[in-house]
Structure 1
Amino acid sequence: MICISLLVNKVLIRYYLPMKKLINQQLLERLASLLRSESRGMLLEHGLQPVQFEALQYIANCNRYSDTPMAVTEFLRQTKGTVSQTLKVLEKKGLIEKLTDAKDKRVTHLKITEDGRALTQQMLPSPILETASDLMSNDEVAMINSSLHTLLYQLQNANNFKPFGQCASCVHNIKQASGEYFCGLTQEVLTPIDIELICREHQYSQVIKP
């Protein structure tokens, strides 16, 4: 009986689990393909490519420490040249603007414009994803959200990728007795809006278990 159990476990480890991982990848790629296809169609009228909109989304949601061209390059995992061209397109279309840092003139900050913000609000959330979510229960949506969050964390952690997470889940974010939030890394007070923004210095406050 023990031998049969061991044999079953070996079969599961060798064949079943790798197959499940492959199916998971295929499902994620199919979902991504459908979302990209929808996004590409919606962006045509604005003369934008999906990667350019990804950069715009990032700029719309990052904090003041993470709104530089280098941070965009790290987030998208693209070459500097590609990101430079992307930012030029966004700036030319009036969707972002470049501002020189008040203290260090060598640093350039990227800010989304009102037109850029309006475009992201028009595009997001994805209509096809929103329609699908409306057909699911709140528990199902929450379960998918949790699973995707866990998968993203494990993928980033296993491959030493920057998390680019929100302050709300960062080890440096300290909630004080007064109710205010404080960044232990920058030694600055954080507003409720700050803690919802993406930060390039993010480190998870606790391990997310699968």
Structure 2
Amino acid sequence: MRLAIEIVQLLIQSADTWLFEETLSGLSDREWMALRFLARANRFSRTPTALASFLGTTRSVASQIAAVLQSKGLMVRKPSAEDKRSIALCITGEGERFLERDPINALRDQLVSLELPDRSRLRDTLRHVLDGLDAGKRRHRADVCSQCVFLIESGAGKERSFKCRLFRKPIREKETTLLCTYFEGRS
């Protein structure tokens, strides 16, 4: 128990580098979270509903957050290429440049300095912890397509292709590293 408490305290201290009260660079914590998510979300997850799911909030609150990001020129709403009845929330070039000043980049840079096996173990351990937290709250976590049960990979080399079984759509290899709110982990 003592070690677990120490780990929690270390996580809290690391959060101090990128969580803050009120705003930083004109954005609140939730707005930063939304911007980060939209920058890393796959095309199926760039919707107000998916954003609400990721933030653990209502669609109304997520729409308000998106409106703030849009008013600052960091995001735009576009008709969805997948479903013309819905909209896609897309990061602008200004939003991408803004993310270069993201306070969380300091934590990312420290993680990059770890040896690859240590980074992999930390990632896997955090995934395991998040799975337990999500199960306890009966909620669904976003994660990358490459770890999803719905991803189908076929072929090799230049003939390699990917498809999402859930959406029954082909996806590019680059998209397999993006976040999806419809993620289902492989057991």
Give yes or no for TM over 0.5: yes
CA RMSD for the aligned pairs?
2.6
Structure 1 unaligned segments of length 5 or more: list them: 1-16
Please state which structure has a larger fraction of its residues in helix.
1
C-alpha distance after superposition, 1:170-208 (max 9, x if no partner): 0010111342112111222211111111112110122xx
Q: In the alignment, which of 78, 81, 93 is matched to residue 114 of structure 1?
A: 93
SS at match of 1:35: coil
Deviates more, 1:166-175 or 1:141-150: 141-150
1:32 matched residue in structure 2: 15
Q: Residues 124 and 173 from structure 1, CA distance in 2 versus in 1: closer, same or farther, beyond 3 angstroms?
A: farther
Letter in 2 for 1:27: L
Q: In the alignment, which of 198, 203, 207 is matched to residue 179 of structure 2?
A: 198
Normalising by structure 2, we get a TM-score of 0.83
Once residues 167 and 108 of structure 2 are traced to their aligned partners in structure 1, the CA distance between those partners, rounded to angstroms, is: 37
Q: CA deviation at 1:59?
A: 0.8
Please state which structure has a larger fraction of its residues in strand.
2
Q: In the alignment, which of 167, 174, 182 is matched to residue 152 of structure 2?
A: 174
Once residues 85 and 137 of structure 1 are traced to their aligned partners in structure 2, the CA distance between those partners, rounded to angstroms, is: 40
Listed as ranges, the matches of 1:1-210 within 5 Å are 17=1, 19-37=2-20, 44=24, 46-101=25-80, 104-123=83-102, 126-127=105-106, 130-131=109-110, 134=113, 136-177=114-155, 178-206=159-187
Q: CA deviation at 1:51?
A: 1.1
Letter in 2 for 1:187: R
Once residues 64 and 148 of structure 2 are traced to their aligned partners in structure 1, the CA distance between those partners, rounded to angstroms, is: 32
Identical-pair percentage: 24
Structure 2 unaligned segments of length 5 or more: list them: none
| Alpha-carbon contact 2:144-2:180 (below 8 Å) kept | yes
